[in-house]
């Protein structure tokens, strides 16, 4: 029983981080209809910004996070303006491939700037593990999870209560109407990319503090696809739920199926099997908006 509880709790913890990445992804999809395959690389770049601030400039953690967020926002805005705006309204394949191309560029640049070596963050969190009843949570998992939760909460508040957040939701809902109401659509596109880059950077830092960073960190970005499909590409609440479900699923599959099945890696493949099954039953994910097509 304790084994199950432990698996569940560490699943929820990983899931919270997945949810954070997925929300950045969903924000971009909602506003601009772009599937961002460069999410993982944005994470990696953001994490490297923070790492550089902490090691080269000896900045405290909070300052490093701010620096990374600022840098990521700049990168996000530049990407939107230079690469994605000319492609607005193009076929899905073009939009997918352009973000894949971007991810390749980012990976190469990071290898040149920070070399391919594996780096670890300086110790940030207190070392005492958190004890929740029978479950022991190492501090390097607990604090990142709390940071992820706080970031998600902050984003939710931003969308719900600020003027800009409302404008972003309006743009996501119906671009033409939002435009008619005097909302600057292009600014919203730019903002949503900046937000996505910032959440990605945060997620990158959070993951980096757990297991270190390298230019290969972007590979984690692939794991968000089961998350966003589960939740539906355009549902923020779905992303949160999807993240946690996938995190738990991964851990349960790793804990119970790995010994039964030949070979390793059940943990990595299980979410994708779930993804296919869900798409078979609900083609727009669990909470995605069903597109009504008219001729």
Partner 1 sequence: MRIGDFKESYAADEALFRTPTARAWLAVLAAALVAFPFVAGDYLLYLANLVGVFLIAALGLNILTGYTGQISLGHAAFMGVGAYATAVAATRLDAPFWLAVPAGGAAACLAGAVVGVPSLRIKGLYLAIATLAAQVIFEWVFTNWESVTGGIRGINVPPASLAGFRFDTDLRSYFLVLPLAALHAYAAANLFRTRVGRAFIAVRDRDLSAELMGVNLFRTKILAFMTSSWFAGIAGGLFVYFAKVVTPESFPLSLSIQLLAMIIVGGLGTIQGALYGTVFVTLVPEALRSLTQLAQRLSPDAMTWFYPMRDIVFGAMIVGFLVFEPRGLAEIVSRARRFFALWPFPK
Residues that bind partner 1 (CB under 8 A): 35, 83, 86-87, 90-94, 96-98, 100-109, 111-112, 116, 222, 225-226, 229, 233, 261-265, 268-269, 272-273, 275-276, 279-280, 283-285, 293, 295
Q: Could you tell me the smallest distance in angstroms from the CB atom of residue 152 to partner 1?
A: 22
Q: Could you tell me the smallest distance in angstroms from the CB atom of residue 207 to partner 1?
A: 20
**41 vs 201 by CB, closer to partner 1:** 41
Q: How far apart are CA 271 and CA 246, in angstroms?
A: 6
- Percentages helix, strand, coil for the chain, rounded to the nearest 5? 75, 5, 25
Burial class (CB in 10 A: 0-12, 13-18, 19+), 174: exposed
**101 vs 122 by CB, closer to partner 1:** 101
The structure tokens listed for 55 are 């090691």
**107 vs 244 by CB, closer to partner 1:** 107
Q: Could you tell me the smallest distance in angstroms from the CB atom of residue 2 to partner 1?
A: 29
Q: How far apart are CA 32 and CA 41, in angstroms?
A: 19
- Residue 217, CA atoms < 13 Å, CB-side half-sphere: 34
Q: Could you tell me the smallest distance in angstroms from the CB atom of residue 75 to partner 1?
A: 14
Q: Could you tell me the smallest distance in angstroms from the CB atom of residue 273 to partner 1?
A: 6
Q: Could you tell me the smallest distance in angstroms from the CB atom of residue 168 to partner 1?
A: 20
Q: Could you tell me the smallest distance in angstroms from the CB atom of residue 49 to partner 1?
A: 18
**83 vs 252 by CB, closer to partner 1:** 83
Residue 265 carries which DSSP code? Answer: -
**98: nearest Cα among 114, 119, 82, 115:** 82
**143 vs 225 by CB, closer to partner 1:** 225
Q: Which residue has the tokens 């994910």?
A: 285
Q: Could you give the angle at the alpha carbon of 26 between the alpha carbons of 32 and 205, nearest 5°?
A: 120
Q: How far apart are CA 150 and CA 152, in angstroms?
A: 5
Q: How far apart are CA 285 and CA 169, in angstroms?
A: 20
Residue 288 carries which DSSP code? Answer: P
**74 vs 92 by CB, closer to partner 1:** 92
**62 vs 295 by CB, closer to partner 1:** 295
């Amino acid at each position: 029983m304790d084994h199950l509880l432990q698996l569940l709790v560490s699943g929820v913890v990983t899931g919270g981080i997945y949810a954070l990445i997925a929300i950045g992804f969903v924000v971009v999809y909602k506003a601009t209809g772009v599937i961002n395959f460069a999410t993982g690389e944005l994470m990696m770049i953001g994490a490297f910004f923070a790492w550089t601030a902490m090691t080269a400039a000896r900045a405290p953690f909070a300052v490093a996070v701010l620096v990374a967020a600022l840098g990521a926002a700049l990168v996000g805005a530049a990407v939107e303006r230079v690469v994605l705006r000319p492609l607005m309204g193009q076929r899905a394949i073009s939009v997918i491939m352009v973000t894949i191309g971007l991810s390749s560029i980012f990976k190469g640049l990071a290898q040149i700037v920070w070399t391919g070596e594996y780096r670890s963050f300086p110790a940030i969190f207190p070392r005492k593990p958190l004890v929740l009843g029978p479950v022991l949570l190492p501090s390097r998992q607990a604090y990142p999870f709390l940071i992820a939760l706080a970031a998600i909460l902050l984003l939710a508040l931003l969308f719900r209560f600020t003027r800009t957040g409302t404008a972003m939701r309006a743009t996501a809902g119906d671009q033409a109407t939002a435009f008619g109401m005097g909302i600057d659509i292009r600014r919203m596109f730019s903002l949503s990319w900046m937000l996505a880059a910032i959440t990605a950077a945060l997620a990158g830092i959070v993951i980096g503090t757990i297991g270190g960073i390298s230019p290969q960190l972007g590979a984690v970005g692939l794991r968000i696809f089961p998350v966003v499909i589960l939740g539906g590409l355009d549902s923020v609440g779905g992303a949160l739920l999807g993240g946690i479900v996938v995190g738990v699923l991964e851990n349960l599959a790793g804990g119970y199926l790995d010994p039964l099945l030949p070979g390793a890696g059940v943990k990595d493949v299980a979410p994708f099997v779930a993804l296919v099954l869900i798409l078979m039953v609900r083609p727009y994910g669990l909470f995605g908006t069903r597109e009504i097509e008219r001729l």
